[in-house]
């Protein structure tokens, strides 16, 4: 199963793309030979409880899940498997969330917090040197289509110096046409946010670029 795990719709304050536009673009990519199954909406500094995208998902046959991208004292993190218990304990709107508290609380709540674009200047994990935090992190976003070339090099060097278990990819799309440029390929089936967390924790998957998906 091929999912873009890092996207932002107009529910984020810096995106121009609607969820339906993302769904339509997914169908376009499929028509061009790229079998993208769906995407996860990771809106900035919140979990979008109020919007239900099941009608759009069914209309276009596209998997649409929700997560969040939050800002911590050690850079940005993607959070999957968000529950009310988690958002009651961690205020996603803050820009100085304790990263170690986020990672551990997510674990306790059945969720997972993953460093986003670790090589990004100012907001990536490699800006900081906290081995206690690094030791608690199992999964890192190693492919992000929004990275500049030097940011990707920086990310690769940082990750190669650590012992993280697994890696995900996401487009970090804020506009429709970048959806799916980097993504995550899962061997297992995912039908819900709980399934996504299960696969991220225990499944088999890899981060890839969209050109690696092309069907002849």
For the chain, how big is the Rg over CA atoms in Å? 16
Residue matched to tokens 């339509």: 24
CA distances from 211 to 21, 50, 62, 181 (A): 21, 35, 20, 8
Domain boundaries of the chain, sorted by first residue: 2-213
At 214 the pLDDT is 76
Q: Is 215's pLDDT higher than 80?
A: no
Better-scored residue on pLDDT, 141 or 214: 141
pLDDT tens, residue by residue, 129-147: 899 999 999 999 999 999 9
Name the CATH superfamily, with its identifier, for domain 2-213: Metal-dependent hydrolases (3.20.20.140)
Paired strand residues for 7: 41, 173
């Amino acid at each position: 199963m091929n999912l873009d795990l890092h996207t932002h719709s107009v529910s984020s304050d810096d995106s121009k793309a609607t969820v339906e536009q993302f769904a339509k673009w997914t169908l376009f990519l499929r028509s061009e030979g790229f079998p993208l199954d769906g995407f996860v909406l990771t809106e900035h500094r919140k979990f979008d409880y109020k919007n239900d995208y099941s009608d759009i998902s069914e209309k276009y046959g596209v998997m649409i899940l929700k997560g969040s991208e939050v800002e911590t004292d050690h850079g940005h993190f993607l959070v999957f498997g968000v529950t009310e218990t988690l958002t009651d304990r961690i205020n996603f709107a803050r820009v100085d969330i304790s990263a170690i508290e986020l990672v551990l609380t997510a674990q306790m709540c059945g969720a997972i917090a993953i460093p986003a674009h670790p090589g990004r200047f100012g907001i990536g994990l490699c800006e900081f040197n906290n081995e206690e935090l690094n030791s608690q992190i199992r999964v890192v976003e190693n492919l992000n289509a929004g990275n500049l070339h030097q940011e990707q090099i920086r990310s690769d060097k940082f990750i190669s110096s650590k012992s993280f278990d697994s890696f995900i990819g996401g487009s970090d799309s804020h506009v429709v046409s970048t959806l799916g440029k980097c993504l995550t390929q899962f061997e297992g089936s995912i039908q819900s946010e709980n399934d996504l967390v299960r696969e991220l924790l225990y499944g088999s998957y890899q981060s890839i670029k969209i050109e690696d998906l092309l069907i002849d």
